[in-house]
Amino acid sequence: MMPSLQHLLYLAAFLFCTGLAVVMVKRNTIMMLLGIELMLNASNLNLVAFNRLYPASLDGQMFALFVIIVAVCEAAVGLAIVLRVYQHYQTSVPDEISELKG
Amino acid sequence: MQQYLLSGLLFTPLVAAFIALFLPSHASGTFKLVTLITCVIQVVLLLLMLSVYDSTGGLQFVEQHAWITLDLGSWGILKAEYLVGLDGLSLPLVSLTVGVMLITTLSSWTVEKNVKGYFILLLILNTAIIGTFAALDFLLFYLFFEFMLLPMFFLIGIWGGARREYASVKFFLYTLLGSILILVALIALYISVNDPSVPGRLVHSFNLLHMRDPKNFISNAILDPNNPWMIGPLSARYWAFLLLFIGFAIKLPMVPLHTWLPDAHVEAPTPVSVVLAALLLKIGGYGLLRIAYPIFPEAALYFSWLVALLGVISIVYGALTAMASKDLKRLIAYSSVSHMGFVLLGIASLTIEGVTGAVYQMVSHGIISAMLFLLAGVLYDRTHDRVIDNYSGLAAKMPVFFAAVLVAFFASMGLPGFSGFIAEVMVFLGAFKSGSANGLLHESFAIIATLGLVLGAAYYLWALQRMFFGPFHVKGDAAAIALTDLNNREYSMLVPLAIAALIFGIFPQPLISWINPFAQHFSDAVLTLGKSLTPIH
Amino acid sequence: MAQQWNNQLNDIAGSLSWFIPELILALFLLLLIALALFKTNRTVLLTCCMAGFILSGVGVMATGLSTQATLFGGMTRVDGLASYLKILIDLAGFITCLMSFEKPSTHRAEYFALLMAVVLGGHLLVASTHFLMIFLSLELISLSSYVLAGYSFTKAGSEGSLKYFLFGSVASAVMLYGFSFLYGITGTLDFSSQVFFDQLIAKDVPMVLFAALMVLAGFLYKIAAAPMHPWAPDVYEASPIPVMAFLSVAPKLAGLGVLLKFVLAMNLFGQSSADWQAIVCAVLLLTITIGNFSALRQQNPKRLMAYSSIAQSGFLLVGVAAFLPQGVHFMLFYASVYLIMNFAVFVYLDFFEKKSITSIAGFSGAGKNLTWPSIGLLVGLIALTGLPPTAGFTAKLFIFSALWQSYELSGRALLLWVVVIGLLNTVVSLFYYLRIPYFAFLKSGEPAEKQNNITFQNLLGFILVLLLLTLFFIPGILMGWINKINFVL
Amino acid sequence: MNTLTFIFYFFMLTAAASATGILLSRNVFKAALMLLVCLLSIAALYVLSFAEFVAITQILVYAGGVLVVIIFGIMLTSKLSGKPLQVGHTNIFAAVLSGILLFALLANFITDDVFAVPQHAVETQGALQTIGTNFMTAYSLPFEIAGILLLAALIGAAAITSFMKSKKV
């Protein structure tokens, strides 16, 4: 017997909401990146879990693999940008970055 | 040849503007000359047209070319045309435009700031105004209608008085708001109308003549007169009429949508004030007569009391505010509001007399207001002061000027012998007769409107008394020395206008013979069609 | 099994012939990177990049606008809508290259390679019919744009690109989460397939709408529409003008194309229980209103244009909201005109920035000494407002006509309100679009150095302005072409 | 409750707990380590959901790649600033509240029967081989695009770092 699929979905939803909260709460860009990674993993978990509903094809798992690739790219570009901002401002706290005002 | 005359009249200024664009900007005299020559050419073309115009012949000088024809598949064909023509309504107004533009050009002779830009804008404005009066295709009309905005915006904004920026922006916004309302009606109209000339296909046409015929409406379209849609308490056709009415009433201007006018007039340079008062205001009345009324006759009948009421309010409110004005130009501006109220009242009566009077009033007011603003400009040129109370006893110092003002004021207050009298009397007759002839308006409208005449006499006479009689006094001594009487250029502008006001006051028949067939046809068509259509509201 | 693989490989080989424009772009991307290894001068790079865009555009045109084909086993689909948007995106890239002609020459190769990558991403995005393809091509556009946005070597530039990145990553994560649920409900990633429709109709659960809204959020982010717009002003302000012009056109049009396809798919030919027309209408009204009213307060022309581009997204969405084939055609017309007028304005803003006019008040007196550029800018802004005699008016007339037609067919009062409020917003937009000409012509300021000689930028701007006027008088030349697009709703 | 089920719930709890830890932690480095724990437990869950290849990729690429890059970034920034790795929090209340609301909404939707696993869920057989073939056949286009995406990211990152060289602060 396998645990219910829905439990995985609950976990994914929890990770997603936590990730979103992390992005909103933290005042540090690297922390925000961690939150975004959490959100991406939530989606992946969903994809893999749903794949059990449709075992005929492996679409979900394939998608999850591509998401991991994209996450790598995003992390690389993101960190490069963070480091560059860091060089300009000597901080990675978004609130202290205020050249642009709305 | 004859059919191209109107296009010639229409595009001569645009061609001239294009030529002027490539002339060196330092030779300021050439631009005046080019504009003057253009106006003279226009006068010649107009005289040619008048010589062949048949006053009973309906639409003439019609020119029709395909402009935009888009085949949109199942949606049908979208068709806009270059369609122009003149009838008893537009011919007097086009003639007025040509005449006033010539005088405006003369009046602009003193412009010194950025002459090139000024005259190019004036030429563009010329084309736009004539185009608005001549267009018989709604899209073409709208194009010219909006095309007036920018030149006017810059003419007021760059060459105007102290608060010119505020005035020009206010003018632009009000007029744009109006034109957006017209645009909504335009979209609704052309989607509902089918051009019957192409059998078997749905042709969404902008042709104003097609829009008048209930047969041309696509059945069950939103503006289909035979089966109108309800939007809230009123049918869609009534809403469309209201949109058009408000849009044009802003231009007219009608109380309470008039507040842009005094500002624009006060701040605009004299020639631009002349164009604004003599020509641009007429487009509001023209739009009602050409578009709103014939296309939505049943709505026009239903709302005639509203139109008349607003007209009467404009007459009385305009006159009262004019009386309270301290600034000469503001006084004239409010008197315009008052006089344009007669146009509304005349149209609303839907009698032959009333409509004829309304068109006559538009022409007459065009002539008289041009004169009034030129005279205000004469004074302002000399003293840079327009406050009425700062003058006293001018009659002795500037006798010829005083005579001219006397003529203009008397003409404007509707004294017999001047064109304003004929127009206003006809409007009164129409408004009185309306109750018995078609049952649209109560006699009290006409009675209250006479109040406008009384008040008109009051504020003009009071202004005369304050400014021209009594001991001579002008605020500021240095200015007093500069007070010279009219010069030759000013004569050349004012005398023709005064003569025109007198001729149209004493011999109204030529002008009426143009307008009358139109008015007859117009009021007949609106009344019969309006009553035949199901009055759902 | 082997037979199946054989079929799939044949399908791939067959699809490649439809894929020539994208292959060209990919090839030129590699070529640009290869050139980066050598110290190539920028003229070569520029020519190479422009050649890539032209060839790809020609390639798209060669396939024609009326052909339709499903490629790579349902990954992408060639149709008229996608092809037309591809041409526009290529054109945007091309004009951006022209605008970059006189920009600082450092890092050229990477710059052009990233431009190429965005265009390639746009090509793929508008053709996608598969969630995975959407995700990948969207990320391709996003990642390249993040870097491009920071291409100004300044503090503000790096901050802009950081904001863009953070906002964008969250948006795409939200979108992805939505995808995962749609996959879970339907069992397929191909949202144009019959299975997808059947499953959605069969399993009409609230989660469908919620997931679809999450996906929509990702798209709205890409086209800078409310409520996903707050990044736009900061990012646009910080980026160099050519990049800003490019970012406000290319990703927007690509996002619009995929948004249209997705919304139509979710609408299930009207069988969806969710009211997608109302959703789109709400989004567009919000977008237009927020864009317009925020623009009123701006003092910086770039921020003003950022809000303007938000408002324009709303107007573009009007074509989607009509849910009529005609709406899509008119939307494409609007998109083409938007491309022209937006670039026209940016070309002139770039010109003025070079004359060190960077605030709206700084335009004082510009009309006197820099007459022709000021007039060109005026025409561009008038077009954005939607007044005659510019194609901006024609486009607005068309797009609202489509919505009105939709109102006539459905009788929904909502659509009438959208028409009226949308058009009244034009009056509001006049306030800010006219601010620059207002200062340029009406205010007198310390005169900028007088210069009216023909520069490259003036010429480019002049051509764009001329196009705007031409398309007003003869819209048929473009509409006739767009009408060939066979669009099935 | 058999062993498999126990393991399953254990990893679920670990993942959830470490995610909460990220939210609560004020130290970037600790948060990164907690993300590592979270990622690894998710990988374990993948294995239990018959997605071995995804699990392996998760461990190798995600935990091994992304996280290392992030930790590297943390080290670099803290070294440059010399400041402690403490992180401030803003609008906690709004964020937590909206997080809870969103979760409640999602959980409510997930309870739907549509998401219930069918009685006899078939285990995917030969998944590894199918994935491999997929990359070369049905998913060949995304595979190529992923390549271009990596390339673009590389160019982008390179371009950004070269700005930093060109403009030393």
For A32-87, the pLDDT digits (tens) are 999 999 999 999 999 999 988 888 888 899 999 999 999 999 999 998 888 888 87
- The Cα–Cα gap between C450 and D43 comes to 67
Over residues C218-228, mean pLDDT? 91
Look at the block and give the residue holding tokens 């929890």: A14
Confirm or reject contact between D31 and chain A (CB < 8 A). Answer: yes
ipTM score for this prediction:
0.90
> Can you give the pLDDT at residue B415?
87
Note whether residue D105 is domain-resident.
no
Check whether D168 has a pLDDT greater than 50.
no
Tell me if D42 sits within 8 A of D100, measured CB to CB: no
CA distance D166 to chain C (A): 9
> Can you give the pLDDT at residue D122?
55
CA distance D98 to chain C (A): 15
Chain A partners within 8 Å of C135 (Cβ): 63, 66-67, 70
CATH of the domain at D85: 1.20.120.1200
Chain B partners within 8 Å of C434 (Cβ): 169, 172
Who contacts B12 (Cβ-Cβ below 8 Å, separation ≥6)?
A: B38, B41, B42, B45
Name which of D114, D142, D155 is nearest C113 (Cβ-Cβ): D155
The tokens of C234 are what?
A: 């900061």
Residue D66 C-beta-side C-alpha neighbours within 13 Å: 30
- The Cα–Cα gap between C339 and C331 comes to 12
Tell me if B420 sits within 8 A of B505, measured CB to CB: yes
Distances B386 to B326, B383, B458, B466 between C-alpha atoms, Å: 8, 8, 19, 13
Note whether residue D102 is domain-resident.
no
- Selected for mutation to probe chain A from C128, C137, C179, C183 (highest A CB count within 10 Å) is C183
Contact assignment for C401 to B221 by CB distance below 8 Å: no
Give the phi and the psi of residue B204 in degrees, each rounded to 5: -80, 110
pLDDT-wise least confident of A14-28, C447-461, D130-144: C447-461
The burial of C17, by beta-carbon neighbours within 10 Å (0-12 exposed, 13-18 middle, 19 or more buried), is given as exposed
Q: Are D36 and D79 contained in the same domain?
A: yes
- Cβ neighbour number for residue C173 with a 10 Å cutoff: 28
Helix C301-321 with C276-295: angle, nearest 10 deg: 160
Check whether C107 has a pLDDT greater than 60.
no
- The band of B367, judged by pLDDT with boundaries at 50, 70 and 90, is very high
Contact assignment for A37 to D49 by CB distance below 8 Å: no
> Can you give the pLDDT at residue C450?
61
Identity of residue D48: L
Name which of C150, C158, C189 is nearest A59 (Cβ-Cβ): C189
Confirm or reject contact between B177 and chain C (CB < 8 A). Answer: yes
Tell me if C396 sits within 8 A of C474, measured CB to CB: no
Check whether B537 has a pLDDT greater than 60.
no
Confirm or reject contact between B165 and chain C (CB < 8 A). Answer: yes
Angle at C273 between CA B221 and CA B231, to 5 degrees: 30
pLDDT-wise least confident of B96-110, C184-198, C326-340, D119-133: D119-133
Note whether residue C453 is domain-resident.
yes
Look at the block and give the residue holding tokens 């107004």: B93
Tell me if C333 sits within 8 A of C395, measured CB to CB: yes
Q: Are D5 and D83 contained in the same domain?
A: yes
Over residues B156-167, mean pLDDT? 85
Check whether D119 has a pLDDT greater than 60.
no
- The Cα–Cα gap between C81 and C254 comes to 11
Note whether residue D35 is domain-resident.
yes
Fold of A5-95: Helix Hairpins (1.10.287)
Confirm or reject contact between B82 and chain C (CB < 8 A). Answer: no
Domain regions of chain A by residue span:
5-95
In the 8-state DSSP scheme, what is residue B385?
A: -
Check whether B142 has a pLDDT greater than 90.
yes
> Can you give the pLDDT at residue B488?
85
Who contacts C252 (Cβ-Cβ below 8 Å, separation ≥6)?
A: C222, C223, C224, C309, C313, C316
Tell me if B138 sits within 8 A of B84, measured CB to CB: no
Choose between B465 and B161: higher pLDDT: B465
Over residues B307-332, mean pLDDT? 91
- Cβ neighbour number for residue C448 with a 10 Å cutoff: 18
Residue whose C-alpha is closest to residue B68's, from C481, C393, C477:
C477
Name which of C389, C430, C442 is nearest B176 (Cβ-Cβ): C430
CA distance C63 to chain A (A): 30
Check whether B59 has a pLDDT greater than 90.
no
Q: Which of residues 63-102 of D touch C (CB under 8 A)?
A: none
Over residues B398-411, mean pLDDT? 90
pLDDT-wise least confident of A93-102, B88-97, C368-377, C474-483: A93-102
- The Cα–Cα gap between B89 and B362 comes to 10
CA B487 to chain centroid: 29
Contact assignment for D19 to A15 by CB distance below 8 Å: yes
Q: How many domains does chain D have?
A: 2
Chain D partners within 8 Å of C29 (Cβ): 148, 151
pLDDT digits (tens, 9 = 90+) for D25-81: 888 888 999 999 999 999 999 998 888 899 999 999 888 888 888 888 888 777 666
Which chain C residue lies closest to B165 (C-alpha atoms)? Answer: C442
Angle at B309 between CA B307 and CA B315, to 5 degrees: 105
In the 8-state DSSP scheme, what is residue B75?
A: G
- The Cα–Cα gap between B73 and B442 comes to 51
Q: Are D61 and D139 contained in the same domain?
A: no
Chain C partners within 8 Å of B70 (Cβ): 475-476, 479-480, 483
Contact assignment for C179 to A63 by CB distance below 8 Å: yes
Helix A29-51 with A59-89: angle, nearest 10 deg: 180
**Polymer length of chain A:** 102
Containing domain of residue D144, as a range?
A: 123-169
Give the phi and the psi of residue B398 in degrees, each rounded to 5: -130, 75
In the 8-state DSSP scheme, what is residue C365?
A: T
- The Cα–Cα gap between B277 and B129 comes to 13
Residue whose C-alpha is closest to residue B446's, from B462, B460, B432, B463:
B432
Tell me if C339 sits within 8 A of C283, measured CB to CB: no
Q: Which long-range contacts (CB under 8 A, 24 or more apart) does B67-71 make?
A: B67/B137, B67/B139, B67/B140, B67/C473, B68/B139, B68/C474, B68/C475, B68/C476, B69/C476, B70/C475, B70/C476, B70/C479, B70/C480, B70/C483, B71/C480, B71/C483
Contact assignment for A30 to D95 by CB distance below 8 Å: no
Confirm or reject contact between A43 and chain C (CB < 8 A). Answer: yes
In the 8-state DSSP scheme, what is residue B84?
A: E
Which helix (H) or strand (E) is B205 found in, with range? strand B203-205
Residue whose C-alpha is closest to residue B266's, from B353, B336, B346:
B336
Confirm or reject contact between D148 and chain C (CB < 8 A). Answer: yes
The burial of D65, by beta-carbon neighbours within 10 Å (0-12 exposed, 13-18 middle, 19 or more buried), is given as middle
Mean pLDDT across chain C:
88
Mean pLDDT across chain B:
88
Who contacts B433 (Cβ-Cβ below 8 Å, separation ≥6)?
A: B349, B351, B353, B354
- The Cα–Cα gap between B303 and B308 comes to 9
Tell me if B533 sits within 8 A of B214, measured CB to CB: yes
Chain C partners within 8 Å of D166 (Cβ): 106-107, 153
State how beta strands B391-392 and B473-474 pair. Answer: antiparallel
Give the phi and the psi of residue B479 in degrees, each rounded to 5: -70, -30
Give the phi and the psi of residue B245 in degrees, each rounded to 5: -60, -50
The 3-class SS string of C459-479 reads HHHHHHHHHHHHHHHCCHHHH
Q: How many domains does chain C have?
A: 1
Note whether residue C476 is domain-resident.
yes
Residue C33 C-beta-side C-alpha neighbours within 13 Å: 17
Look at the block and give the residue holding tokens 């500069």: B482
Contact assignment for A24 to D91 by CB distance below 8 Å: yes
Over residues B500-510, mean pLDDT? 90
Give the phi and the psi of residue B428 in degrees, each rounded to 5: -60, -45
Angle at C429 between CA C427 and CA C433, to 5 degrees: 120
pLDDT digits (tens, 9 = 90+) for B506-530: 999 988 999 999 999 999 898 888 8
Q: Are D16 and D68 contained in the same domain?
A: yes
pLDDT-wise least confident of B199-203, B364-368, C349-353: B199-203
Chain C partners within 8 Å of B71 (Cβ): 480, 483
- The Cα–Cα gap between C70 and B250 comes to 55
Contact assignment for B72 to C329 by CB distance below 8 Å: yes
Do C and A share at least 3 CB pairs under 8 Å?
Answer: yes
Note whether residue C52 is domain-resident.
no
Look at the block and give the residue holding tokens 């975004």: A36
Containing domain of residue C404, as a range?
A: 277-489
Tell me if B204 sits within 8 A of B191, measured CB to CB: yes
Q: Measure CA of the first residue to CA of the last residue in chain D; give whole Å.
A: 61
Residue C196, SS3? helix
Burial profile C106-141: b = 16 or more Cβ within 10 angstroms, e = fewer = ebbbbbbbbbbbbbbbbbbbbbbbbbbbbbbbbbbb
Identity of residue B514: W
Q: Which long-range contacts (CB under 8 A, 24 or more apart) does B211-216 make?
A: B211/B138, B211/B295, B212/B294, B212/B295, B212/B525, B212/B529, B214/B529, B214/B533
pLDDT-wise least confident of C197-211, C218-232, D119-133: D119-133
Contact assignment for D22 to A35 by CB distance below 8 Å: yes
- Selected for mutation to probe chain C from B23, B74, B75, B143 (highest C CB count within 10 Å) is B75
> Can you give the pLDDT at residue D81?
62
- Which chains form contacts with chain B, at 3 or more CB pairs under 8 Å? C
* DSSP of B88-147: TTHHHHHHHHHHHHHHHHHHGGG--TTHHHHHHHHHHHHHHHHHHHHB-BHHHHHHHHHH
